[in-house]
């Protein structure tokens, strides 16, 4: 019991996840700065930002619903941390696993978007409302490609649990090549889920001040920012577990290093996308996702079905 509590709260649970999230944010910002020929922040910057935000007073608008306003950051943070428990990190299984936990993880990862929407909506400020509505509209664009592209490797492995998938891919080492198109599609969809450029429409700084986060300040803002960082880690870990399932049989220390390398590689790809693209409008994003990305996801599904039906009989 004590060991389970330790694992949930400290390692690889809440504390480890928070610090890894902050470290990944440092990596992202430093890489972004170096790509732009700048110096970038020092290593303690995200931690200093978090401590500064937590030590300030939170201001709640008069018209807002105080209970919902305060609960939204907590929802965002806790749902992502819960999703983390089911993802295999450096062993074949996560902390817990059961059949169908892939679907549960994907649904748990939808809750932060809902929390952003409700947080912006209950702020009752003009900019927050527009940001909230944009965030939910964006959900319709990237959710389908994300689900379909992550479910394709599961179809190939004939199981709905992450543990079963990793065991399958460990048994057939080269099958992950069939899922490369899905990897690309889910990277694009993950950019949308994490609201990074070119899809940071909901938090467009130059258009609607800060979107859903306009009225948030102090501790609540600190929790939201931490939630965003943790969501980046959880999303990258999910992608690493589904599409890059190698090195899971190595001994614990080496496996940990391989896991870190995989997650940082995916975050580096996200940062590169953030650097070289401009922000799209919401209607352009819908058009892009439904005209190009979703068909690619379905193509991936088709490839998996064909391979499964024809070659693996």
Residues found near another protein in the complex (CB under 8 A): 31, 33-40, 126-127, 129-130, 197-198, 200-201, 204-209, 272, 275-284
Neighbouring C-beta atoms of residue 224, cutoff 10 Å: 23
Who's near 219: CB < 8 A, 6+ residues apart?
Answer: 53, 54, 56, 58
User: What are the CA-CA distances from residue 236 to residues 48, 132, 194 (Å)?
Assistant: 24, 24, 10
Contact yes or no for 109/83 (Cβ under 8 A):
yes
Closest to another protein by CB, 116 or 259: 116
Tell the burial category of 131 from Cβ atoms under 10 Å away from its Cβ (0-12, 13-18, 19+).
Answer: buried
C-beta closer to another protein: residue 35 or 301: 35
Nearest approach, Cβ of residue 226 and another protein (Å): 23
Q: Which is nearer to another protein, 185 or 208 (CB)?
A: 208
Least CB distance to another protein at residue 40 (A): 8
Q: Which one, 81 or 202, has the nearer CB to another protein? A: 202
DSSP 303: H
Contact 234/83 with Cβ under 8 angstroms?
yes
Least distance from another protein to the Cβ atom of residue 172, Å? 33
CB of residue 35 to another protein, shortest distance in Å: 5
Distances (CA, A) of 49 to 169, 220, 254: 40, 13, 32
DSSP class of residue 247 equals S
Of the two residues 191 and 242, which places its CB atom closer to another protein in the complex? 191
- Min. distance of Cβ 302 from another protein in angstroms? 25
Q: CB within 8 A of 258, min separation 6: which ones? A: 90, 246, 247, 250
259 — phi, psi (to 5°)?
Answer: -60, -45
| CB contact at 8 A, 98 and 134 | no
Nearer to another protein, 118 or 204 (CB): 204
Write down the least CB distance from residue 277 to another protein, Å: 5
């Amino acid at each position: 019991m004590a060991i389970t509590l330790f694992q949930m709260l400290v390692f690889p649970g809440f504390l480890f996840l928070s610090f890894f999230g902050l470290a990944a944010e440092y990596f992202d910002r430093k890489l972004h700065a170096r790509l732009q020929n700048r110096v970038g922040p020092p290593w303690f910057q995200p931690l200093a930002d978090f401590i500064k935000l937590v030590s300030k007073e939170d201001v709640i608008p008069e018209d807002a619903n105080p209970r919902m306003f305060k609960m939204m950051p907590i929802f965002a943070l806790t749902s992502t941390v819960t999703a983390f428990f089911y993802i295999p990190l450096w062993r074949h299984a996560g902390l817990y696993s059961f059949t169908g936990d892939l679907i549960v993880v994907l649904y748990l990862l939808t809750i932060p978007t809902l929390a952003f929407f409700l947080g912006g909506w209950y702020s009752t400020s003009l900019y927050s409302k527009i940001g909230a509505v944009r965030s939910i509209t964006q959900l319709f664009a990237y959710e389908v490609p994300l689900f379909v592209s992550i479910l394709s490797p599961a179809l190939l492995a004939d199981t709905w649990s992450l543990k079963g998938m990793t065991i399958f891919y460990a048994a057939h080492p080269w099958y992950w090549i069939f899922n490369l198109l899905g990897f690309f599609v889910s990277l694009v969809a993950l950019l949308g889920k994490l609201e990074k450029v070119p899809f940071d429409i909901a938090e467009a700084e130059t258009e609607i001040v800060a979107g859903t986060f306009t009225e948030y300040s102090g501790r609540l803002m600190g929790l939201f920012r931490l939630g965003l960082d943790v969501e980046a880690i959880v999303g990258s870990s999910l992608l690493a577990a589904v599409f890059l399932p190698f090195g899971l049989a190595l001994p614990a220390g080496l496996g940990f290093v391989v896991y870190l390398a995989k997650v940082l590689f995916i975050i580096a790809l996200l940062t590169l996308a953030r650097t070289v693209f401009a922000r799209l409008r919401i209607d352009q994003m819908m058009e892009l996702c439904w005209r190009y990305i979703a068909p690619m996801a379905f193509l991936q599904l088709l490839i998996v079905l064909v391979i499964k039906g024809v070659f693996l009989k």
